[in-house]
Chains A and B, each alone.
Chain A
Amino acid sequence: MSRRGAEPSLWQSFKARISLRALTQWAALIGFMLLYARTAYRGADEITWPVHLVFRLDPLAMLTELMAQSGVSDAGGFLLRWLGAFALLGLTLGLGRFFCGWLCPLGTLLEYTGPTIRRLGKRAPPFSRPTTLLPVSLLTALLTATALGTALLGFFDPLSILLRSLTVAIFPAFDYGVKETFAAIFGLNSAAVNSFADPVYSWLSEWLLAFGRPLFLVSGVTAALFGALFALELLAPRFWCAHLCPLGALLGIAAKVGLTRRARASECGKCSICVSNCPTSAVGEGAGNTQAEPLLCIQCNTCARDCPQGAMGIVAGAASYKQAAPAAPARRAVVGSMVAGVALAAFGGARAGEKRREWGFLRPPGSVGDEEFNRRCIRCGACMRVCPSTALHPSFAEAGLGGIWTPRLVPRVGYCEYHCRLCGQVCPTGAIQALSEGEKEKWVIGIAVLDKNHCLPYRSATGCIVCEEHCPTSPKAILFEEREGIDAQGRTVLLKFPKVVEERCIGCGICETKCPLEGRSAIVVGREAPASEDGVLGY
């Protein structure tokens, strides 16, 4: 066992490492936010440095893609694409769960908001004796279900949770609040006020605010679940990270089979500061239990920093490690969670809701077939973030239980820009394939169908054809026939009646978005492939 003496110089070096950790955490969080800010249309049809690059480090995303396909056809490409994830697993073998303590942006947010949350909650954390069974069981159940075709890893992937919550709930709310505040200020119509407010607003809209007004479906549920992760801080510091996070559990397993341990010298004394100060309760108590549990330890170094003896250090090997919990329950838990995973997958596979999609359920352009889509999609919401017209929204029950948070195109809210092909570029797991210029414009998302009982010229002999005006294909997929109609006063009027040429329609949905009727559109895009099955995979 290596020794860390009590010399102040070493103690100071530990202290320096703590602040180095904080710096690293904030740098990683800021880096994440900068990438997030860049993940938007910026005048070019190719996006550079999108936020989905963080998933290249994420072994859960890699496993999701691996299990989504029957076999990896291009092993070299796969390995190259996920080099970061393999590197992270490899480094974790040597360094433990450093990702969690040093890099994970969600972990950083939880760690630095936790003290305030607990202060506001006015209670001491009651959860002092955790078990490693919970995260490992959850991971096992999710992996099993995912391997059997009901992909659930993305539900709980911390990077996915953060990215989709930011995109769907947090950022739109922030954006809305700021814009409405300034709208009220500008509404005062005071030149003096505006001379101050205007430069501030201009700066904000340039650097922080969204372009347009992003509004998302399922934002309430997403926000509530995101909030729940912070509420868990009331139970224990970084409760989510240590006791639920499947990425943390996976890295923890790697750490456990890995080469190093945090351990204290057995002759260190009896203060047990390391035990009580460990945020994830990883440090065991008692003379016979001198090692920190690598499944839980996030390498925050609090134990070493706080040890008055300087007796806490990193040792090689697992030789003297003693498991706190007996082995049998662990095995039982793992087997039990595998059974749960099988049950989840079977339940998912057997529900009608998993197999049948509503007619109006649309996937983004470039999407792989629907079954494969649910398996591949990591539910990160990067596609929703980058969509310039907020056409992509999280599914709730529409894609089955196994499809929650997978993207769907909701044309009444936003349409697919004819020349835009950003969503396929930011998808980390290939659920949405990148399309080239020319390929995108021909991609059939669905077809538009007119509701003649609702459409103005048909129902009340009133002119309109806004749908025809906006149809982007050339020649247009929406034409009009000019003929006579009878208006409400019984007069004969010459009117233009729209009609859809189905073999030209690509289902971009601009007609449905722009239909000027309130609420329900008189032209609706549905999941049909008019001419052939080739354009629409899996429908």
Chain B
Amino acid sequence: MGKYDKHTDRERRAFLKKLSAAGFAVGLGGALPLFDATATAAPSPKPLAAVKGSGTGGTVSDPAKLAREAVDKLGSMSAFVKPGFNVVIKPNIGWDRTPEEGANTHPAVVAALAQMALEAGAARVQIFDRTCNDSRRCYKRSGVEDAIIALARELDDDRVVLSFVDDIRFETVEIKGGKFLTRWPLYRPALVADALINVPVLKHHGLTGITVGMKNMMGIMGGNRGRIHRDIDESLVDINMAVRSTLTVVDATRVLTSGGPQGGGTKNVRIENRLAACEDVVTADAWGATIFGVDPMKVGHIRRAHERGLGIADLDRVQIL
């Protein structure tokens, strides 16, 4: 058994089976919304809650506590999740890397948000990502699988569902007004969610400079995603225009500063102990850029999102809580 096995195979299978039996009924059937990548009105600034932990000496302080603090500053999870909501939490679990390596969202942040959504009365909290490495390996090594199993067991609550993305559940949709993405297979369970909580990890990315919330939405895209790298900036605005996240929570507890998006080892990982939450994904990404140490308007997709009216990247106009 590997280093990351906290649960026996049998326990894990029993758990996943229970989840899958209860899980998928929500998010199937019924008509999809229309997808429109044209801005209808100029966005209004949304407040951003930024928190910093007290951890020192290169150790990550309680990420779960940071997540709760930030969301509470925005008026608690009840502001976004109403009783009976079908909630999707979309972390970045894209890589077969450990939490220390900074390539994936911290498992404690994911679990804390799931717990808050349950407390707010969600009927179902689904967690998934279309990963880059084998998803079984990513879910495991990222610590997210163990964290969600531990949460479900601790609360004895089967409303929380960690599931693998299944290719038969993608649906090809038309995106009206898309600059690059006009037609693309998207993951149905994310499209029909009542609340979509986007939980990226802030890190370096070779092509786009940094990756935060907007790029994390690639995890609901099917098909040959690499193709959008031809015009990554417009594509990311298109997908985020078409599928709006209800809330973006940026995990900057550890920041992978180079060798992203998957890194490897901890040499290039900086402990920041920061986290932010905002309704506006562009504002959240702009905050991430400043923490990373770059000008948001120098990051192509953040600038284009601002220009096309997806959200506000000018932090001077934003109330920081």
| A interface residue numbers (CB < 8 A to B) | 41-46, 179, 182-183, 186, 189-195, 198-199, 201-203, 205-206, 211-213, 388-389, 417-420, 456, 462-466, 468-470, 472-476, 480, 496, 514-516
Contact = CB atoms under 8 A, between A and B. Distances in A.
A472 B168 contact: no
A474 B258 CA distance: 10
A186 B28 contact: yes
Given A189-B30, A205-B166, A465-B207, A388 B20 contact: no
A193 B31 CA distance: 15
B29 A194 contact: yes
5 contacts: A192-B29, A212-B134, A456-B230, A472-B264, A480-B206
Given A42-B9, A44-B5, A189-B29, A474 B137 contact: no
A191 B264 contact: no
Nearest to B101: A474
Given A44-B1, A190-B29, A469 B205 contact: yes
Interface residues of B, number: 49
B261 A46 contact: no
Contacts of A192: 29
Contacts of B183: none
Given A198-B24, A462-B230, A43 B145 contact: yes
Given A194-B25, A469-B261, 20 more contacts: A43-B140, A46-B1, A46-B2, A183-B168, A189-B30, A203-B17, A206-B13, A389-B134, A419-B137, A420-B137, A463-B229, A464-B229, A468-B207, A469-B132, A469-B207, A470-B262, A515-B226, A516-B224, A516-B226, A516-B229
Contact of B259 (A191, A193, A475): A475
A474 B259 contact: yes
B264 A388 contact: no
Given A182-B168, A206-B16, A516-B227, A465 B206 contact: yes
Contact of A463 (B24, B28, B132, B207): B207
Given A206-B17, A476-B259, A191 B30 contact: yes
Contact of B137 (A201, A417, A463): A417
**Which of A182, A186, A468 has the most chain B CB atoms closer than 10 A to its own CB?**
A186
Nearest to B227: A516
B133 A417 contact: yes
Nearest to B31: A189
B303 interface: no
A419 B141 contact: yes
Given A194-B28, A203-B21, A420-B137, A44 B2 contact: yes
A195 B265 CA distance: 45
Closest 4 CB pairs of A and B: A474-B264, A516-B226, A191-B29, A466-B226
A41 B134 CA distance: 10
B96 interface: yes
Contacts of A466: 226, 229
B74 interface: no
Contacts, number: 128
Nearest to A183: B168
B29 A45 contact: no
Contact of A186 (B2, B168, B225, B259): B168
Nearest to A40: B136
Given A189-B29, A476-B259, A514 B134 contact: no
Contacts of A205: 20, 166
Contacts of A189: 28-31
A61 B137 CA distance: 32
B232 interface: yes
B159 interface: no
Given A202-B21, A516-B224, A463 B230 contact: yes
B231 A41 contact: no
Contacts of A419: 96, 137, 141
Contact of A469 (B16, B137, B141, B206): B206
Nearest to A201: B24
B263 interface: yes
A175 to B, nearest CB: 12
Contacts of A476: 259
B210 to A, nearest CB: 13
Contacts of B140: 43
Given A46-B2, A417-B137, A475-B259, A465 B168 contact: no
Interface of B: 1-2, 5, 9, 12-13, 16-17, 20-21, 23-25, 28-31, 96, 132-134, 136-137, 140-141, 145, 164, 166-169, 205-207, 224-227, 229-232, 259, 261-265, 267
Contacts of A206: 13, 16-17, 20
Contacts of B167: 212-213
Contacts of B265: 474
Given A41-B137, A189-B30, A194-B25, A464 B226 contact: yes
A41 B9 CA distance: 11
A195 B2 contact: no
Nearest to B166: A205
A127 to B, nearest CB: 46
B265 to A, nearest CB: 5
B168 A179 contact: yes
A11 B111 CA distance: 66
Contacts of B133: 417-418, 472
A358 B140 CA distance: 37
Given A43-B5, A183-B168, A516-B227, A202 B20 contact: yes
A192 B164 CA distance: 23
A213 to B, nearest CB: 7
Contacts of A195: 25
A388 B137 contact: yes
Contacts of A474: 259, 263-265, 267
**Which of B25, B166, B232, B267 has the most chain A CB atoms closer than 10 A to its own CB?**
B166
Nearest to B137: A417
A205 B168 CA distance: 12
A418 B265 CA distance: 13
Contacts of A475: 259
Contact of B9 (A44, A191, A496): A44
Contacts of B264: 472-474
**Which of B206, B259, B267 has the most chain A CB atoms closer than 10 A to its own CB?**
B206
B164 A211 contact: yes
Nearest to A418: B96
Nearest to A482: B206
**Which of A41, A473, A476 has the most chain B CB atoms closer than 10 A to its own CB?**
A476
A45 to B, nearest CB: 5
A417 B95 CA distance: 11
Contacts of A473: 264
A41 B265 CA distance: 23
Given A388-B134, A388-B136, A476-B259, A468 B1 contact: no
Contact of B206 (A183, A186, A202, A496): A496
Contacts of B31: 189
A505 to B, nearest CB: 14
A105 to B, nearest CB: 24
A134 B26 CA distance: 61
Contacts of A465: 206-207, 229
A213 B165 CA distance: 12
Nearest to A468: B206
Contacts of A462: 230
A514 B136 CA distance: 18
**Which of B23, B225, B262 has the most chain A CB atoms closer than 10 A to its own CB?**
B262
**Which of B5, B12, B13, B226 has the most chain A CB atoms closer than 10 A to its own CB?**
B226
